[in-house]
Structure 1
Amino acid sequence: MTAPEQSARRWLGPAVFSAVAVLALVAAPLLLEPFRLGLLAKYLCYAIVALGIGLAWGQGGMLTLGQGVFFGLGGYAMGMYLKLNDAAGDLPDFMVWSGVEKLPALWKPFGNPVFALAMVVVLPAAVALLLGALVFRQRVRGAYFAILTQALAAALVILLVGQQGLTGGTNGLTNFFDFFGNDVAADETQRGLYLLVAVVLGALYLGARQLVRSRFGRLLLAVRDGEDRVRFLGYNPATVKTLTFAVSAGMAGIAGALFVPVVGIISPALLGVVPSLELVVAVAVGGRFALAGAVLGAVVMGYARTYFSEELPDAWLYLQGALFVLVMTLAPKGIAGLAANLVRRREVRA
């Protein structure tokens, strides 16, 4: 490869990122109606979770099937603040309906916006750190780790559903009216929320990309490809995996917090086993070995789900599954892997 070709390839990634950023921040708000823009914002929230899955699974080899747990923790932290803010000193509406007479002690700190925003990241990351420290130290990996995270998601759903007066039960937290002084239902607020989600996704993507390219990222790849060899070299794979898992969980918590004002609800149905599996499928479709592929997969699968459910409501689940099977059959490394192969073939021919 000649020097000009190497220089062009070096600038290809930043150029593509800049083009996508312009489309997301400028073109989408101008071209899409408020409803469709809100759907795109929801897809981007899922893309943030997918980015964390791509970091943990694609780069670190940790198949996490319970990312909905961390998504839910961040979402409920934000939802609790918004409900207390709307109540203006009174009990949230669902507590009144449930016969609760006094605000639970667990809820009181979330009336402070700084505390609530901090918990959006700290709470999921702390749970992931604790789980990782217990699990990875015992060298639990592969299918066993995946099943453990899946069980954690199922347990959280059962806990949330059973605490009607504390969490809203099956209905979860909904009916939000104010988001830091702005009417949640207003088109301008939703447009601003979309831009916020897009900017956060872009910042997290750049941060994750830099992390992967750093010395820590190279060590993470080494753990994925040969954990025992890394241990023999004097490194502790458990520490590397735990820190990566915590970063992934923090991303999911941020996504959950942004999801709440965008969609207007956070409930157990959004963070159980099935939603977590769907996000893993989206990452696999986009390409788990590329961070951009994970983001792309979440957006593509979100759009496919909406399109199929609107056009073919009786068959959309089958078509969504067929899309997954088709991509995995023709491109085992996902859409990103297929694109990389096409570029490589073109370079060989040239």
Structure 2
Amino acid sequence: MTKLKPWLPLIGIGVFAALLLVIAPLTLNAHWINNLGKYCALAIAAVGIGLAWGRGGMLVMGQGVFFGLGAYAMAMHLTLETAGPDNLPTFMILYDPLAGLPAFWEPFRSEAFTVLAILILPVIVASILGYALFKRRVKGAYFAILTQALAVALAVLISSTIRETGGDTGLSDFKYFFGFVLNDEDNKLMVYLIAAALLIVCLLVVWQLNRSRFGELLIATRDAEERVRFLGYDPANIKLVAFVIAAVMASIAGAMFVPLAGIITPQEIGASASILMIAGVALGGRASLFGPALGAMAVGWGQSSLGSSWPSGWIYILGMVFILVTVFVPMGLSSIFSKVSGLVWRPRAAAPAVSAPYPKRTE
């Protein structure tokens, strides 16, 4: 198989960064900039799924859990920031005016605590969950079902705790983002640029991991786990690292999705949301660098554009596209580009050597 030049992905990341950080703000209006920011947030989660699933072979169908951890951590802070110091959020006053603020809400008044929670909570949860599953060699369909069940359980838990989390209504009506007024157009652009920059950083992290020793071990674990164990490495630890990195990226994605979308509900973190993330990664190409991000952005565009104009039909279009891609291009649309690039960069075949004639024998 022909390998692409090692510097091509880095150039691609640079072009992608120029499009998101320079071209898009200059050419798109505020509405599309906000939508593109939401697509970037979804793409951040997809990049992590590409690492865990495409490179590590772990079908993580419960990324809504980690997306929800980051999203609700950010939403709780923005809700308290909107309510003001020592005040209760509006939805809590409506449900029970006499009750105080729940104890686990209070630390989220701090900006530093909120950022740390977005980064550390997924590490703790993913480490405990991954250690329990990987050490027992749970993989394949069992691993996918268990992770998706956790996403369903978290969505049900949030729906049932109306007083503490807003229930099915979720958290919304955010007015400030770390001191900046969200209704201001310049501040909306700033939030978009943060989401786009974080997407570029995640792509760089995965690019570096893929070309490192860890990336080689991750692929080896996916393809021949017993051989990796025979060589003295613990496949559970290798999988655990990839699983935790994917969880952190999903949490960051959820945190950036909240100020861009202006709302977070259990529907954004449940089973259907997790499946849409997987569908985007599969559509773009789970084993490539850019495929998961572009696939997630395409699914996000379909959900917001086609979903608003044809809410009962766009999901069928997505399903049809997903089936066609799975049948005819199992490795995603990015594999077509890889094949074309392989043809372009194919080295020329060496000319057959011409044997020199034997010298004539002289008498």
- TM-score, with length taken from structure 1: 0.95
Q: How far, CA to CA, are the matches of 2:51 and 2:310 in structure 1? A: 34
Distance (Å, rounded) in 2 between the aligned partners of 1:313 and 1:128: 34
Q: Which runs of 5+ in 2 are unaligned?
A: 349-363
1:11 aligned partner? 7
Mapped partners of 1:293, 1:193: distance in 2? 24
Match of 2:94 in 1: 97
Residue 18 of structure 2 corresponds to residue 22 of structure 1: yes
User: How far apart are 1:311 and its partner, in Å?
Assistant: 4.9
Q: 2:111 aligns with which of 107, 110, 113?
A: 113
Q: CA–CA distance in 2 between the matches of 1:193 and 1:133?
A: 35
Distance 2:309 2:96 in 1: 43
How many residues in Structure 1 have an aligned counterpart in Structure 2? 346
Q: How does 1:304-315 map to 2 (within 5 A)?
A: 304-315=302-313
> Does the aligned pair in 2 maintain the 1:308–1:319 contact within 8 Å?
no
Alignment of 1:79-98 (within 5 A): 79-88=75-84, 89-98=86-95
**Are the equivalent residues in 2 in contact too, given 1:308–1:320 (CA < 8 A)?**
no
2:61 is the alignment partner of 1:65: yes
Corresponding residue number in structure 1 for 2:360: none
What residue identity is the alignment partner of 1:130? I
> Which among 18, 25, 35 is matched to residue 39 of structure 1?
35
C-alpha displacement of 1:170: 0.6
Q: Give aligned-pair identity as a percent.
A: 44
Tell me if the contact between 2:13 and 2:204 (Cα under 8 Å) persists in the aligned partners.
no
Q: Distance in 1 between matches of 2:10 and 2:150?
A: 38
Separation in 2 of the partners of 1:258 and 1:312? 27
Residue of structure 2 aligned with 1:341, choices 320, 339, 342: 339
By how many angstroms is 1:306 displaced? 3.3
Shift of 1:120: 0.4
Shift of residue 129, structure 1, vs aligned partner: 0.3
Q: Deviations over 1:133-168 (max 9, x none)?
A: 111110100000000001000100111011111111
Q: Which has the larger radius of gyration?
A: 2
Partner letter of residue 307 of structure 2? Answer: S
Q: Which structure shows the bigger proportion of residues in helix conformation?
A: 1
What letter matches 2:156 in structure 1?
I
Letter in 1 for 2:341: V
After TM superposition, the structure 1 = structure 2 runs for residues 230-245 of structure 1, keeping only pairs within 5 Å, are 230-245=228-243
Shift of 1:347: 4.1
Opposite residue 67 of structure 2, the aligned amino acid is F
Which amino acid letter does the alignment assign opposite residue 235 of structure 1?
Y
- Show CA shifts across 1:158-187 (max 9, x none): 110111111111111111001122111222
Deviations 1:59-113 (A, max 9, x none): 1111011101100000111111111111111011111111052111111111111
Q: Determine if contact 2:13/2:203 at 8 Å carries over to the other structure.
A: no
Letter in 2 for 1:92: P
Q: Counterpart of 2:321 in structure 1: which amino acid?
A: L
Q: Pick which of 71-80 and 16-25 moved more.
A: 16-25
How far has the Cα of 1:292 moved from its partner?
Answer: 1.1
* Partner AA of 1:142 in structure 2: G
- What's the secondary structure of 2:135's corresponding residue? helix
- Once residues 144 and 259 of structure 2 are traced to their aligned partners in structure 1, the CA distance between those partners, rounded to angstroms, is 30
Per-residue CA deviations over 1:319-343 (Å, capped at 9, x if unaligned) read 1111212222331111111111122
Q: Deviations over 1:33-61 (max 9, x none)?
A: 11111111101100000001001101111
Contact kept in structure 1, 2:180 and 2:187, CA below 8 Å = yes
Asked whether the 8 Å contact 2:53–2:59 carries over to 1, the reply is yes
1 CA distance for matches of 2:251 and 2:92? 24
Select the residue among 48, 58, 76 that pairs with 1:52: 48
* Partner of residue 155, structure 1: 153
Aligned to 2:144: 146
Say whether the 8 Å CA contact 1:305–1:320 is kept in structure 2: no
2:333 is paired with a residue whose SS is: helix
Q: Secondary structure at the match of 1:105?
A: coil
